[in-house]
Amino acid sequence: MTEQVDGAGGAQNRTSVERRGDRELVVTRTFDAPASTVYRAWSQPELFQRWWVPKSVPGISLVSCDMDVRTGGKYRLEFSAGGSDTMAFYGRYLEVVPNERIVWTNDEGEEGAVTTVTFEDQGGRTLLTFHEVYPSKEALEEALQGSAVALPEQLEQLDELLSSTGE
């Protein structure tokens, strides 16, 4: 499966979503911002929570965002769908290289993926690669019906945030 999604910035900011084999998902997008700026948007909770929740999903909000972005650190994201019930996503950071890469686990269940996000400097622009490896074909299929569907929108929202910060 390869899906191309045009962002507001046109072809230069296109989000590419590609399934590789039975267990891998690779999403790429180029941002018109330095790698250090894009990295900060992924590693600082006050920035991360401004773009991570897809706006097209009504009533969903990120009510808690705890991120200790360092090798060995942990994260916990808690979402609300408008009621009193919340859903938490959490895991550990396996590797953090500032401005270059973040690798984390998704520990909510046995079918959690390992996610790697890399930030490749391209002369003031950044090629972001979001790579997830799932423990099974079924886990990837489930993600392709759920969380992975929102990635192009989330990256578009990140692009808007980066544009508005003016860095």
Rounded to an integer, what distance in angstroms lies between the CA atom of residue 115 and that of residue 130? 7
Q: What is the pLDDT of residues 75-123, one digit of tens each?
A: 999 999 877 788 899 999 999 999 999 999 998 777 789 999 999 999 9
Q: What is the reported pLDDT for 166?
A: 60
CA angle 144, 106, 150 (to 5 degrees): 35
Contact 26, 20 (CB under 8 A): yes
Tokens of residue 48, six digits: 């991360």
Q: What is the reported pLDDT for 13?
A: 58
Rounded to an integer, what distance in angstroms lies between the CA atom of residue 67 and that of residue 42? 10
Q: Which region among 3-17, 34-48, 104-118 has the lowest average model confidence (pLDDT)?
A: 3-17
Number of Cβ within 10 Å of residue 27's Cβ equals 21
Rounded to an integer, what distance in angstroms lies between the CA atom of residue 137 and that of residue 20? 11
Q: What is the reported pLDDT for 8?
A: 38
Contact 162, 38 (CB under 8 A): yes
DSSP 32-98: SS-HHHHHHHHH-HHHHHHHSS-TTSTT-EEEEEEE--STT-EEEEEEE-SSS-EEEEEEEEEEEET
Using 50, 70 and 90 to split pLDDT, how confident is the model at 144? confident
